[in-house]
DNA sequence: TGATACGTTCAATATCAATTGAACGTTCGC
DNA sequence: GCGAACGTTCAATTGATATTGAACGTATCA
């Protein structure tokens, strides 16, 4: 049977995590690297990663940096060793939070800016009271609903509940 | 200046939404189609979509079905018309919820199953009390932390707070 | 009934992002 | 100072998946 030794089970987790992050659009090696380190008792070097996962050194380097920025990995110094070693942290809530903030936060900025600008321009247009009035007011109502939703989502994101429940 | 007519502003929103869903990994036309319909006063047909957005009929058909399943669009019958027409709904919270459930929910099932299975197998192993004990207990502790987090995340997802705040 | 207008499907293709690996700069030991 | 061991970068490549469009089934109308 497969999975009947710790090593085999680790392999399965790594494989599953890789597929997960893959289909989630985060890249396969992201999940693989974190999971490998998370299920390793000793800190791991880039070399360990390339060997264990069959990935390139460049890939390992980039992914490790990203995971470190999200607070998912921590660099560990081992005396007498020139290599960098990494170990995994387990405050998943904080990690997820930072990752989401970077991945989707950045990508909403353009839209946010557009919403603000649109609002200003619509007020202008309404004040001018020229043609297109029906179109402008329709736009305005729709934009208003989006902004309201944005506001609620933002408040939820900032709320302490998330922070508490996700540890 | 651009954006000085309702039409131009709509274009901007459609463009921005397209980029957003694109970089978020949901495909460009998803955002384009929903935004186009959301900012249209009249229900739109597949033909309208292909013309307004320059996308293929097949693309329009598939995307519209997906959006409809998520509750983002509703089919509207117009008497004397053979085409299907769609209008946008604005309960964004519900839409987002369903979309996330389908997109990420499915993709976590494999991992979930693996976690359950792992737990069972580890208990087995511990009961057998054979070799690898240190490895097994390490694995067990790490898996335990993941499962605990999964539990908290699940409870948060099911909580009423999300539903209330996201309307 | 035949002809037309639709919506759907899915294999082929185009597009985009993940991954590689060679080249480079730096640090460390000798 | 020299060579080896590392980590990093980025242009080229690969791989995944979004998108197309031709073929098809079905409903509608004359």
Exposure letters B108-119 (e unless 16+ CB within 10 A, then b): eeebeebbeebe
Looking across all nucleic acid strands, the nucleotide with the smallest C1' to CA distance from residue B80 is D28
Å from A58 (CA) to D7 (C1')? 9
- Per-residue pLDDT tens, chain A, 167 aa: give them: 576 899 999 999 999 999 999 999 999 999 999 999 999 999 999 999 999 999 999 999 999 999 999 999 999 999 999 999 999 999 999 999 999 999 998 888 888 898 998 888 888 888 877 778 889 999 999 999 999 999 999 988 898 777 767 77
Question: Which of A89, A149, A163 to probe by mutation at the B interface, max B CB count within 10 Å?
Answer: A149
Measured distance CA(A53)–CA(A25) in Å, rounded: 19
Q: Which domain holds residue A59?
A: 6-88
| Residue A111 to residue B20, Cβ atoms within 8 A | yes
Count CB-CB contacts under 10 A for residue B14. Answer: 21
Nearest-Å Rg of the Cα atoms of chain B is: 23
Å from A153 (CA) to D7 (C1')? 40
B-chain residues near A145 (CB < 8 A): 90, 92
The reply to whether B68 Cβ lies less than 7 angstroms from strand C is no
Residue finishing a domain among A24, A59, A88: A88
Any domain includes A1: no
Average confidence score pLDDT of chain B: 92
Any domain includes B111: yes
Domains: count for chain A: 2
Residues B77 and B134 in one domain: no
Measured distance CA(B122)–CA(B114) in Å, rounded: 12
| Residue B165 to residue A142, Cβ atoms within 8 A | no
- For residue B132, what pLDDT is reported? 85
Any domain includes B1: no
Task: Give the chain A residue whose CA is nearest to the CA of B128.
Answer: A4
Residues B63 and B132 in one domain: no
Residues B83 and B125 in one domain: no
Residues B105 and B54 in one domain: no
Average pLDDT over residues B77-99: 95
Any domain includes B141: yes
Smallest Cα distance from A56 to chain B, Å? 25
Residues A84 and A131 in one domain: no
The reply to whether A103 Cβ lies less than 7 angstroms from strand C is no
Residues A45 and A72 in one domain: yes
pLDDT at residue B164 tops 90: no
Å from A54 (CA) to D1 (C1')? 36
Residues A144 and A81 in one domain: no
Q: Please give the structure tokens belonging to residue A165.
A: 């429940």
Q: What is the pLDDT of residues B30-86, one digit of tens each?
A: 999 999 999 999 999 999 999 999 999 999 999 999 999 999 999 999 999 999 999
Task: Give the chain B residue whose CA is nearest to the CA of A5.
Answer: B132
Residues A103 and A159 in one domain: yes
pLDDT at residue B1 tops 70: no
Q: Is A42 helix (H, G, I), strand (E, B) or coil?
A: coil
Q: What is the pLDDT of residues B137-155, one digit of tens each?
A: 999 999 999 999 999 999 8
Residue finishing a domain among B38, B53, B88: B88
- For residue A76, what pLDDT is reported? 96
Residues A39 and A67 in one domain: yes
| Sign of the dihedral defined by the CA atoms of residues A109, A110, A111, A112, in that order | positive
The reply to whether B26 Cβ lies less than 7 angstroms from strand C is no
Residues A82 and A100 in one domain: no
Residues A107 and A71 in one domain: no
Q: What is the pLDDT of residues A49-87, one digit of tens each?
A: 999 999 999 999 999 999 999 999 999 999 999 999 999
Identify the residue whose Cα has the smallest distance to the C1' of D18: B27
The reply to whether B27 Cβ lies less than 7 angstroms from strand D is yes
């Amino acid at each position: 049977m497969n999975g009947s030794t710790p090593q085999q089970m680790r392999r399965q987790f790594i494989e599953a995590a890789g597929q997960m992050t893959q289909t989630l659009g985060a890249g396969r090696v992201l999940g693989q690297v974190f999971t490998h380190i998370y299920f390793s008792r000793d800190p791991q070097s880039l070399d360990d990663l390339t060997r264990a996962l069959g990935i390139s050194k460049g890939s390992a380097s980039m992914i490790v940096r990203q995971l470190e920025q999200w607070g998912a990995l921590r660099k560990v110094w081992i005396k007498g060793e020139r290599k960098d070693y990494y170990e995994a942290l387990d405050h998943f809530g904080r990690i997820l939070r930072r990752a989401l903030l970077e991945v989707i936060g950045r990508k909403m900025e353009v839209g946010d800016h557009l919403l603000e600008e649109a609002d200003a321009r619509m007020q202008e247009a309404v004040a001018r009271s020229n043609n297109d009035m029906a179109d402008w007011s329709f736009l305005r109502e729709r934009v208003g609903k989006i902004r309201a939703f944005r506001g609620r989502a933002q408040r939820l994101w900032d709320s302490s509940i998330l922070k508490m429940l996700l540890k």
